[in-house]
Amino acid sequence: MEKVISFGVQLSIRCTPQVDIDDDYHLLTYKGLAALSWITRHCGHVPWILHADDDVFIDIFLLHINMREFDVKTVEHFFCNALTSHVLRSGRWAVSHKQYPSHQYPVFCSGRLWILPTRLAPKIVKAAKNEPFLWVDDVFITGILGRKANISVIGDPDGFASESINASDIGRVLAWHSVKDRQRWWDILQR
Residue 27 three-state SS: helix
**122: burial class by Cβ within 10 Å (0-12, 13-18, 19+)?**
middle
167: pLDDT confidence band, cut at 50, 70 and 90? confident
> In the chain, what percentage of residues exceed pLDDT 90?
52
pTM of the model: 0.84
User: How far from the centroid of its chain's Cα atoms is residue 96's Cα?
Assistant: 24
Q: What angle do CA 116, 117, 120 make, to 5 degrees?
A: 95
**184: burial class by Cβ within 10 Å (0-12, 13-18, 19+)?**
exposed
Q: Domain segments of the chain: what residues?
A: 22-189
- For the domain covering 22-189, report its CATH number: 3.90.550.50
Whole-Å CA distances, 121 to 56, 126, 142, 143: 22, 9, 11, 14
175 pLDDT exceeds 80? yes
